[in-house]
Amino acid sequence: MRSRDEQRLKAAVAHQMQQQHEETCRVFRTAYYIAESNRPYTDHPDLVELQELNDVNFGRVLHSNVICSDIIDHISSEMRRAVIKGMVAPNAPCAVLIDESTGLAIKGFLFGSLSSCNF
């Protein structure tokens, strides 16, 4: 009897954790949309409310514009880390482009670009 109760409890906890993970993913996707669309962070609570009106479960946390800013900072740092890791990988092909030009003020400037094909 005790092992059955433990199994039910484990299954209930696993289900709850899965549901919280899905809610967090929805909030992260909404924040990513805001960053990708170059929208203000203050749109986040309104988008969450709109999606909840459309019966999408967002949970009870991570709904403010301050949290949206934190989520976007986290996503950008993880993306930056992945790009740099791909560029620093051994034998990673990369290209360096350096161009010199002059503007209307007759001042010269140097432009440098580093790209990698390993992401």
- Domain assignment of residue 27, given as a range: 2-90
Cβ neighbour number for residue 71 with a 10 Å cutoff: 22
Which of the 8 DSSP states describes residue 90?
Answer: T
Tell me if 98 is assigned to some domain.
Answer: no
Tell me if 6 is assigned to some domain.
Answer: yes
Q: List, in order, residues 6 or more apart from 96 with CB less than 8 Å away.
A: 112, 113, 114
Tell me if 48 is assigned to some domain.
Answer: yes
Tell me if 45 is assigned to some domain.
Answer: yes
CB burial of residue 110 (10 Å; 0-12, 13-18, 19+): exposed
Quick one: pLDDT at residue 95? 77
Tell me if 20 is assigned to some domain.
Answer: yes
Q: Give how many domains the chain has, as a whole number.
A: 1
Quick one: pLDDT at residue 103? 67
Tell me if 103 is assigned to some domain.
Answer: no
Residues of the chain with pLDDT under 70: 1, 103-105, 116-119
| 58 and 89 Cβ atoms separated by less than 8 Å | no
Quick one: pLDDT at residue 8? 92
Tell me if 105 is assigned to some domain.
Answer: no
Q: Is the pTM value of this prediction over 0.85? A: no
CB burial of residue 67 (10 Å; 0-12, 13-18, 19+): middle
Strand partners, 99: 111
Q: How far apart are CA 65 and CA 89, in angstroms?
A: 36
